[in-house]
Structure formats: structure tokens, C-alpha cells
Structure 1
């Protein structure tokens, strides 16, 4: 897969931005910002990755988050979890220590709503803006610049970043106060967990019944059963192909956030909790990096 698929970018004024975290999502997202004409400085824990990005897209890199953010009007971030996020934001070399007053920090990490609220308050004390903005669409969405971005924060701050984030977004929407973006991403993951388990059971049932499941999915995909998962994962599930996509380890991390939040807000999530345990079984089979559609592997001989 190419690092990015170039697209038609809206003409917007070029500004200084920073991007922290050049994983499978951050690398192409930062690339789209550079291709759209912004001056991008990147930071990555592994320096070689930052150097590679700068060589490909013509931007610059810095050895610490604080230095990467020094001249940025907007700082984007996409790392692994709450602890990773704190490690690049806080402290002497952290992003908040390098950002100028009035700059905005946009966090694309899928993290807890609690850490979003925590960092929002710290940012406010430092006269910085903060938006929690987890994304959906996976690596392919990042490469193609068509991610769905779910945001929480103050409307005036959101207005500053909405247009700048469009180069890698299909939709970017403010859903409420700080933390609302992370909560919306949890809703997204709850939906996906149930859908993939249902699709897994349906395909396994059809195969045991002797049906041509390629033909069946083609038919029912034109009706009420249609979903993104069916369109994009149905055939590969039939073929037992899972070496791509959104990893089981990542999904379990996300579902852990969901279940922790449910304990706090009292939501009942019996199906989500069960599917989380099914993913644990996939991990035990060695499927840590398999796509989430590998749930079906539990149901096949």
C-alpha cells in the first residue's frame, strides 16, 4: 500500500503545523497535510521514521515533541494509548511545553474520555486549545485521506482546526464538550464489535449449510443486512485472510476503554463484553495482529 493516495485538496492558506506520532495512521495523515501545502514538522519516537517521512514529503522533523511544536499553530497527534499520549504531551520535552499561546492541540489517538478532559484542562491553563478527535476508517482511510473524525471540545477551537484537518478527512464533526469525541469512538467500536460477530456467525452458518457464501453475500448485501464490514470483509472472511486491517490487539485496547467507561456510566454492554472475550480467544490462537474480521476463525474447524 502506498504511503498516501494523492487527492484533490481544497485551497487553504498554508500554516505551520506539527504532527506527533508516525505510525500506520499518523504517517499518511501528516503526508496529506504536507501535500495540501502546510509547513509540517514531525516527531516520532523512532527517529528513522521521522527522517523517512521528511525525505518523502519535504517537511522537517524534530528530536522532541516540544521542539516540533515550537512554531506550530496547530499540533496533531496520533499515538497508542493514554500513557503514550501523556508521554508526548507532558513534561519538559512534551508538546504543551513547546506550544505558543493560542495554538491548538488535536489528539487523534483513540484514548479514554478521562485523559481528554484532563489534557483539555491543562491546555486551558496554558492558554492552548484542545480537541479530542479520534478517527475511524483504518489504515486505508488514512492513506486515501477519507477518515471520519469525531471531535470533542469548544466550538471556537473546533472552527480553527476543521478546515486544516480536511486533507485526510471525509467528515470531521464536533459532537460535544471535551471527551465527546472519545465517547463517540467508543460507540463506533461497540457497533463494529457486534457487526463483525454477527457477520462471522452468518458466514459460518451458511458454510455449514452448504451455501455458496460469495453468492449469498452478494444477494443479501443489496438488502437490509448490508454493512461496511460485509462489503469490505465478507469475502476475505470466507477465504480466511486476516493479514491486514485493524489489528485484534488494537480492538481489544479500544474495547477495554469502552468497558471501563461503561462501568462508570452504568451502560449495559453484554454483547460487547462477550465479543471482547472472543477476541481474547483469537489472541490466544496467535492472531494479535490479524484483522478484526478474524473473529470468524473461532467458528471454523
Structure 2
């Protein structure tokens, strides 16, 4: 068992840190809103710290899961950042969905202090975090990954290493690009089925068993049909992720026309007041165009 700090107790980080404690690790947490850290300790035990540096003091591993590149830099760097407290041989694992650039930046800074680094963005949503069934896409050295994997296994059903620092973030971009295209296609298909007078539930259930099946269709068709989106992965966060992927693609000279179009569609959902709706709310565009209340 290891001494582990977990920084960032959002909808993903809160249960992930809980799985670490349940697995027997000594866990100290930090969250920008102290009340959430206090609530976590009341539920799971362990302890909380008032700064990232204090949380990381004496730890073997520090896990971060925050909002974006700037949030990540704020908890890693500086006098009160986690990196300032880590000794040689410790490993910093970042589960934020961020840019490959910031992953490489942190990896270089960590290496100067003898600290290992793994960028490990996750997929599986809030349910995956709560059930300990996340997929973790990693970048870093084989040595650092091998040391971090048993700790990540506390909340992961699958992990893999895809290359040097930044490779995990690049893999997560692939994940988000695939999801965006899928959700748009499913929205079109389900709305088409409803307008055609078909039982969209029966259609989705059968299509899910064939070549048109996907996790998104199997797990989101009912709430999409029922017009329920107060759950899951928020549109605001998907637009953030797609923006990272589109910027990366531009730097690589790669055209992503479907992703760019779906990003615009998500912008329309935000204008409808759906920034916190689940990403499956793309179907609301069709309802609105059809004159329905959304």
C-alpha cells in the first residue's frame, strides 16, 4: 500500500479517491472548495490538506483530476503546488483531460526533481468513476507506468501505455472525437425513428445488437428519447475537450470536419441553456428545429 494524495474532488475525482482509500492506501485529499474535501473525509476517512503542497508532502503518488490546463498548472507548480513537496522517486499521475503540451511541460519539470510523471486521462464518465470501471489512457516511461498501474487499478478496469508523456492525452482526444461523431449519428437516427412513427426504444434495442451498436446507443437511448439530460458528461466539458483536439489537429495539419461540425452543434446546445446537459443532448437540436419545447 502507498501514501497517495488526490487533488481535485469533482464528479470524477471524488469517487476515484474513494476507491484508493477502499483499496487500503493511505489517502490525503485536496480540493479548492474545502467543504468538499471535508465531506470526502467524513465519508471515507483519510485526511485533507489546505494546499496541494501540503497534500503531496511525503507521498509516494500524487493523483490530479482538475478542469483544464490552467487549473492543472495551478495545483502542480508554484510554492504551494504539489511538485514543490515531492521527493525523488515519487510519481505524479494526472487524470485531467488536458493538452499534450501541458503533459510534456509537467513531465519535464518533474524530471528535473527526480519525480516520475504519467498523463492518464480517463474515460467512462461519472458512472465509471463511481463503479471503479474507468479506462485510463497513459503516456510516460514504462518504468513510471509500471509503478503507477497497481495504484490506478483501484479505479480502473483497463489501462495501457501509448508512448511518452502526452501520448495519453492524444489518445483521449481520439476517444472524444469518436464519441462526438457517434452521439450526432445516434441523435439523427433516434429522431428519424420517432418522426417515422417507430417505437424508438425497440429500434435502439435491436440496433444495439448489430453493427450499429455502441456504448452510447445502449446506455443513452432511453434518456435521449425521454428528453432527460441532467446526468453524465456535460456539454461544456465536451466542448473544452473538442477544442483541445481541434487545436492539436490544426497544429498537426490534420482536417477533422465532423468534429468541427459537431463542436458547432454543441455550441448551439449551449445557447439553448444546455451547457450542463449530458453530451447526448445533441438530439435537442432536432426537437428545437421541429418546433418542440426543449
TM-score range relative to shorter protein? over 0.9
Residue 95 of structure 1 is matched in structure 2 by 82
The CA distance in 1 between the partners of 2:68 and 2:49, in whole Å, is: 22
Residue 192 of structure 1 is matched in structure 2 by 179
Residue 4 of structure 1 is matched in structure 2 by none
Residue 16 of structure 2 is matched in structure 1 by 29
Alpha-carbon distance, 1:134 to partner: 0.1
Q: Deviations over 1:5-27 (max 9, x none)?
A: xxxxxxxxx11110000111111
| Runs (5+) with no aligned partner, structure 1 | 1-13
SS in 2 for 1:297: helix
Residue 279 of structure 2 is matched in structure 1 by 292
Residue 201 of structure 1 is matched in structure 2 by 188
Are 1:117 and 2:104 counterparts?
A: yes
Give the root-mean-square deviation of aligned CA atoms: 0.6
Residue 253 of structure 2 is matched in structure 1 by 266
| Runs (5+) with no aligned partner, structure 2 | none
Match 1:165 to one of 130, 141, 152: 152
Alpha-carbon distance, 1:206 to partner: 1.2
Alpha-carbon distance, 1:207 to partner: 1.2
What is the TM-score with the length of structure 2 in the denominator?
0.97
* Number of equivalences: 288
SS in 1 for 2:154: helix
Alpha-carbon distance, 1:37 to partner: 0.3
Residue 137 of structure 2 is matched in structure 1 by 150
SS in 2 for 1:171: strand
Residue 231 of structure 1 is matched in structure 2 by 218
Q: Deviations over 1:183-218 (max 9, x none)?
A: 000000000000000000001111111111111112
Residue 239 of structure 2 is matched in structure 1 by 252
The CA distance in 2 between the partners of 1:214 and 1:162, in whole Å, is: 39
Alpha-carbon distance, 1:267 to partner: 1.3
The CA distance in 2 between the partners of 1:21 and 1:221, in whole Å, is: 35
The CA distance in 2 between the partners of 1:214 and 1:159, in whole Å, is: 44
> Counterparts of 1:12-23 in structure 2 under 5 Å?
14-23=1-10
Q: Deviations over 1:226-277 (max 9, x none)?
A: 0000000011111111110000000000000000001111111000000000
The CA distance in 2 between the partners of 1:273 and 1:58, in whole Å, is: 44
SS in 1 for 2:150: coil
Residue 262 of structure 2 is matched in structure 1 by 275
SS in 2 for 1:164: helix
The CA distance in 2 between the partners of 1:82 and 1:137, in whole Å, is: 21
Q: Deviations over 1:117-170 (max 9, x none)?
A: 000000001110000000000111000000000000000010111011111000
Alpha-carbon distance, 1:52 to partner: 1.0
Q: Which moved more, 1:215-224 or 1:243-252?
A: 215-224
> Counterparts of 1:28-67 in structure 2 under 5 Å?
28-67=15-54
Are 1:71 and 2:58 counterparts?
A: yes
Moved over 2 A (4+): none
